[in-house]
Chain A
Amino acid sequence: PKHENKSAQTAAELRPSGPVTVKADHAEWVQDSTMKYSGHVSLQSDTLNLSGETMDVKQLADGNFEALITGAPAVLDHLPQPGASGPTAQPVHAEARQLSYASGSGTVTLIGQAHLKRGSDEVHGATIGYEVQQRRVRAAGDDQGQVTIIFTPPPPKQNEAGKSDEKKAPAAEAKP
């Protein structure tokens, strides 16, 4: 679709630009710059919000970080892109046993009974990869099961009389 052929924006340019806020009931500073958070944890970065029961956040030397969130379930919510149209205008909601978020690559991997919902489309699988900025979904099954993708076709276009065009298509096509 047109929005994906935008000027060649590298992943780096698309990466979250705002600061990242983590909230929790408790936090423990563990060695190697890793923080262990527990109790109502949430991570917010731009329009992305990850939440669960525990979260380990490891800060890397280059300033990026890796976050591993576990919960029953761990939840991802990605608000629509302000002013966008098409898929990016739809909120994304996903759940899994674990979420692994790497700010460097800008990807969230949903691990274990993962399912993602965007508008009326749904994806189920053992693992789902979600590229945050491009809002692109990659899903993978495992030996127990496959990936299930449910696409709901957009409703047929309505004409002035409010009737579905399907019946009058030949006439619509005949006009021009």
Chain B
Amino acid sequence: MKVLRALLPLAFLGLCAYGLLRISLQGESVEREARPADQSLAQPLYIAHQATWVRYGEDHLPQLRAQAERIDYYEDHSMKLTQVRLDRLGAQNGPWQASAPQGYVPPGESRMRLQPDVVVKGMAPKSLPTEINAREVWVDWQSQQLYSRSPVRAKAPGRSASAQSWTSDFAGNHVQLNGQVEMHYDAPPR
């Protein structure tokens, strides 16, 4: 009887272990052999060096072009880019060009997050050549916008600005600065 009482907890532990394994395995099988998320990120499907990535729209025209020193492409369709430069934004090839040390396209999303420090240069139509600096910029080919929800600094001939956030359409027709906007115009000439 004593032996039986001693074995009971062991039997119970065994049953639990078997149950857990079944779920995670199942989980594994349901995800059809997909490795746990962090492991799938560590193992890209493809790695391309000195690569150009072009995104085409339904009209088969290039919407976005990114050139990078390295592109890691993952099974969940996410992508990591190193030393990335976007030199074509929008089918009409808008005025902006963006560059950053890192780029990341989250799984299943139609936008790329550029991270520090990001430099966006361009000259909107009938406007001034402008440079925008930010810690993080999103480039969204769905909404055809670039935007930063973190503080930005912008400069153009004769003026410089800072704000809490910034948004511009690919075409450069609507450039907005929001939150504690401060614009400094150089002193008018004597």
Instruction: Spell out A's residues near B (CB within 8 Å).
Output: 12-13, 15-29, 31-33, 35, 37, 57, 59, 62-65, 103-104
Let me know if A31 and B179 touch, CB within 8 A: no
List chain B residues, Cβ under 8 A from A21: 182-185
B61 at the interface (CB under 8 A from A): no
Q: Contacts A23-B183, A32-B126 known; list 5 others, CB within 8 Å.
A: A22-B183, A24-B181, A28-B176, A31-B125, A65-B188
List chain B residues, Cβ under 8 A from A29: 124, 127, 130, 174-177
List chain A residues, Cβ under 8 A from B176: 26-29
Cα-based distance from A16 to B158 in the complex (angstroms): 15
Known pairs A17-B187, A64-B188, A64-B189; A31 contacts B173 (CB<8 A): yes
Let me know if A20 and B187 touch, CB within 8 A: yes
Let me know if A25 and B178 touch, CB within 8 A: yes
9 smallest A-B Cβ distances: which pairs? Answer: A29-B175, A20-B185, A27-B177, A31-B126, A22-B183, A27-B181, A103-B188, A64-B188, A63-B189
List chain A residues, Cβ under 8 A from B185: 19-22, 57, 59, 65
Residue of B nearest to A46 (CB): B187
The listed residue (B124, B159, B177, B182) touching A31 by CB distance below 8 A is: B124
Interface residue count on the B side (C-beta < 8 Å): 28
Instruction: Spell out B's residues near A (CB within 8 Å).
Output: 124-128, 130, 158-159, 161, 163, 173-190
List chain B residues, Cβ under 8 A from A104: 188
Let me know if B182 and A22 touch, CB within 8 A: yes
Residue of A nearest to B178 (CB): A26
A–B complex contacts, Cβ < 8 Å, 8 sampled: A12-B190, A16-B188, A17-B187, A20-B188, A22-B183, A29-B174, A65-B188, A103-B188
Let me know if A35 and B187 touch, CB within 8 A: no
Let me know if A28 and B184 touch, CB within 8 A: no
Min CB gap B118→A, angstroms:
18
List chain B residues, Cβ under 8 A from A13: 190
List chain A residues, Cβ under 8 A from B124: 29, 31
Min CB gap A73→B, angstroms:
22
List chain A residues, Cβ under 8 A from B158: 59, 63
Residue of A nearest to B128 (CB): A33
Residue of B nearest to A103 (CB): B188
Min CB gap B58→A, angstroms:
29
Let me know if B181 and A25 touch, CB within 8 A: yes
Min CB gap B131→A, angstroms:
13
Cα-based distance from A9 to B152 in the complex (angstroms): 41
The listed residue (B173, B178, B184) touching A20 by CB distance below 8 A is: B184
The listed residue (A15, A18, A25, A31) touching B127 by CB distance below 8 A is: A31
Residue of A nearest to B175 (CB): A29
Cα-based distance from A111 to B89 in the complex (angstroms): 44
List chain A residues, Cβ under 8 A from B175: 28-29
Cα-based distance from A31 to B183 in the complex (angstroms): 17
Min CB gap A38→B, angstroms:
9
Cα-based distance from A22 to B189 in the complex (angstroms): 18
List chain B residues, Cβ under 8 A from A31: 124-127, 173
Cα-based distance from A37 to B161 in the complex (angstroms): 12
Min CB gap B168→A, angstroms:
8
Residue of A nearest to B168 (CB): A29
